[in-house]
Amino acid sequence: MKTKNEIIKTLVTKRCGVIKPDSIEEFIGAGGYQAVVKAFSMQPEQIIGEVKASNLKGRGGAGFPTGIKMDAVLKAEGSPKYIICNADEGEPGNFKDKYLMENDPHQLLEGMIICAYAVGASHGYIYIRGEYGDSMTALEKAIADAKANGWLGANIKGSGFSFDVMVHSGAGSYVCGEEFALIESLEGKPGRPRNKPPYPTTAGFRDKPTMISNVETFSNIGIIVNGGGEAFKAIGTETSAGTRLISLSGNVKNPGVYEVPFGVTLADIVYGLGEGAPDGQKIKMVQLGGASGPIIPPELLDIRLDYKDLADEGISIGSGAVIVIDERFGMMEILERIMKFFCRESCGKCTPCREGNRQILNILNKFIACKASEEDIKNLTSICNVMCLTSFCGLGQAAPTAVLTTLKYFGGEYTGRLAAKS
Amino acid sequence: MQLLQIIEKHGRQPEDLISILLDYQACKTDNYISEDDVKMLARQLNLTESRIYSVLTFYTLLSTKPRGKYVVQVCNDVPCYVKGSVNVLKILEKTLGIQEGETTADGVFTLEFTSCLGCCDKAPAMRIGGQLYGNLDEGKIGEIIAKYRGQ
Ligand SMILES: Cc1cc2nc3c(=O)[nH]c(=O)nc-3n(C[C@H](O)[C@H](O)[C@H](O)COP(=O)(O)O)c2cc1C
Ligand code: SF4
Ligand code: FES
């Protein structure tokens, strides 16, 4: 078994817990904002070229290549252009963006400034979920200090480039993490997704070209500019570059945020870092990514953290949550929680999601009461598939993932609860 | 007048509506936006009342019903559940003498469920008056509630 130090790699979190997060002096003393100076000496296309070469993929869940997104915003017609940081982090089991914002807020600003310069944006917003009061305080202080020191505002450090950032509070809604729902919310409306295309890169906030990315994604940009895209790509695996922040929770001895390079196994995370289940319990299942992610049995934990390896198994790790559940808990009660979450958070815009989540919950209740029939397994499968195929946004498309993966990996839990035939 | 100050701070654009509602609700002891508030806001911001309600009823941190001075939100998602959130709710129900969804007779506390609070590494977790509390057990919950009672 690998030791903790062999598993962890601190790149994005290298300053976390080392510097005082509310001190811009300490941030600068630890190499902060150097990447901004370097970026200003480069052409926008050059910066985007480095991000493309780095193979950085968005850390918000979907894993879209960040360089390609930046290129699209740079080339899009229209002004002004906007940068939005998605700090809504509402997916149950995720808390790594909070960790980054509260431990190294300037690193996020640094990434946003560089991206703004590269795509030609003049205004930025950090949309932080309303429950994260401390994160808002940390960023508001960081923004004020950055302004006072000339890293934000007009003509930043004599570059001729001007950029301003504002913190915006969410108001309690999971779907507002979806990029267009977030933009609607930022425009003062209920957070219901918009039709795509057009994508935010061409018609986002106020219908202007908008780069919207996750906190962790922006936090990687300074590292790429400083060290170069190729050096970044060398970290991790052939198919996945860099590190991931893992939010480890549930029945493990050591929950918390851990930064690991791509290529470590899920077992390294659960057993090596988490030290397995407490109180001599055995792990029954692990949910990856959060409520909208797959539930897998412990036998699958040998899979590497790698976009391709996970996709080959038909799963993904979303925004990096790893939720461990031990044998004291029944699968049906866990699924019930998850589906209640989606019933609560569905925005109601489209029928498959608004009705589908409720129907799934109804059928699960039959299994819980041991009153289900073979027919219910068929119906459950077909409702899930319809939702995946026809829901308007990612919420409804991903909501059935836990049910579908448990049907695949824990089929016995369903058949064992069929009503006894009389 | 408080509302006008808040509007001055955020601006009068429809885009500013959610920030205004959040700030205004936060300075009211009954923690909600009343019908009269909506009428006043509609006039001030030149928006229809239905436009304001569309936002008010969408977001869980906003309320159209009176709530206690302190809203006690208990996290109920899987990471907290497997660390005993059901127990946390039971203890709170006993300590406060109310059920989930209710407000104490003195108007101090409202007890609610919430989605994940981003404190899963300190599960089970809750949020009171904007403050997050984790690693809850019976003793800790008692202390926290006593502190708010005293205020
Ligand atoms: C229901 C739903 C919730 C989401 N929540 C978040 C979130 O909290 N944070 C986030 O960064 N991305 C979230 N996303 C993904 C965003 O839509 C978007 O893909 C992401 O912000 C892009 O940033 P990235 O390229 O850096 O990953 C969510 C998507 C969906 C469908
Ligand atoms: S899938 Fe769900 S959350 Fe998304 S638009 Fe449809 S109802 Fe709304
Ligand atoms: S699940 Fe309770 S804080 Fe995340």
A353 touches ligand 2 (CB under 6 Å): yes
pTM for the predicted model, two decimal places? 0.97
Mean pLDDT, rounded, for B27-45: 95
Report pLDDT digits (tens) over A103-161: 999 999 999 999 999 999 999 999 999 999 999 999 999 999 999 999 999 999 999 99
Percent of chain A whose predicted confidence (pLDDT) is above 90: 98
Lowest average pLDDT, out of A139-143, A391-395, B81-85, B129-133, goes to B129-133
Per CATH, the number for B70-150 is 3.40.30.10
- pLDDT value at residue B151: 75
**C-alpha span between A148 and A106 (Å, rounded):** 13
Q: Which residues of B touch A93 (CB under 8 A)?
A: 77-79, 116, 120
**Closest atom of ligand 3 to CA, residue A93:** 4
A408 touches ligand 2 (CB under 6 Å): no
Percent of chain A whose predicted confidence (pLDDT) is above 70: 100
ipTM, two decimals: 0.96
**CATH 1.20.1440.230 correct for A331-421:** yes
- pLDDT value at residue B17: 97
Taking CB atoms and an 8 Å limit, are B78 and A92 in contact across chains? yes
Mean pLDDT, rounded, for A253-260: 98
Question: Which fold, A4-233?
Answer: Rossmann fold (3.40.50)
Q: Ligand 3: residues whose CB is within 6 Å?
A: A 92; B 75, 77, 79-80, 116-120, 123, 125
A401 touches ligand 1 (CB under 6 Å): no
Taking CB atoms and an 8 Å limit, are A249 and B123 in contact across chains? yes
Taking CB atoms and an 8 Å limit, are A329 and B19 in contact across chains? no
- pLDDT value at residue A421: 66
Domain with CATH 3.10.20.600 in chain A: 243-326
Domain with CATH 3.40.50.11540 in chain A: 4-233
Taking CB atoms and an 8 Å limit, are A323 and B14 in contact across chains? no
A403 touches ligand 2 (CB under 6 Å): no
A272 touches ligand 2 (CB under 6 Å): no
Tokens 């729902």, located at residue: A181
Domain locations along chain B? 3-58, 70-150
Mean pLDDT, rounded, for B69-87: 96
Angle subtended at Cα A261 by Cα A255 and Cα A266, rounded to the nearest 5 degrees: 50
Mean pLDDT taken over chain B: 95
The answer for B 69-128 residues in CB contact with A (under 8 A) is 76-79, 81-83, 114-123, 127
- pLDDT value at residue A1: 80
Which carries the bigger pLDDT value, residue B52 or residue A2? B52
Instruction: Count CA within 13 A, CB hemisphere, residue B102.
Output: 12
Kindly report the nearest CA distance between residue B69 and chain A, in angstroms.
Answer: 17
Mean pLDDT taken over chain A: 97
- Assign domain A243-326 one CATH number from 3.40.720.10, 3.10.20.600, 3.40.640.10, 3.40.50.300: 3.10.20.600
Report pLDDT digits (tens) over A219-237: 999 999 999 999 999 999 9
Select from B47, B121, B122, B135 the residue whose CB has the most chain A CBs within 10 Å, as the one to mutate to test that interface. B121
Report pLDDT digits (tens) over A20-78: 999 999 999 999 999 999 999 999 999 999 999 999 999 999 899 999 999 999 999 99
- pLDDT value at residue B1: 57
Whether B55 has a pLDDT exceeding 70, the answer reads yes
Report pLDDT digits (tens) over A319-338: 999 999 999 999 999 999 99
- pLDDT value at residue A422: 55
Whether A168 has a pLDDT exceeding 60, the answer reads yes
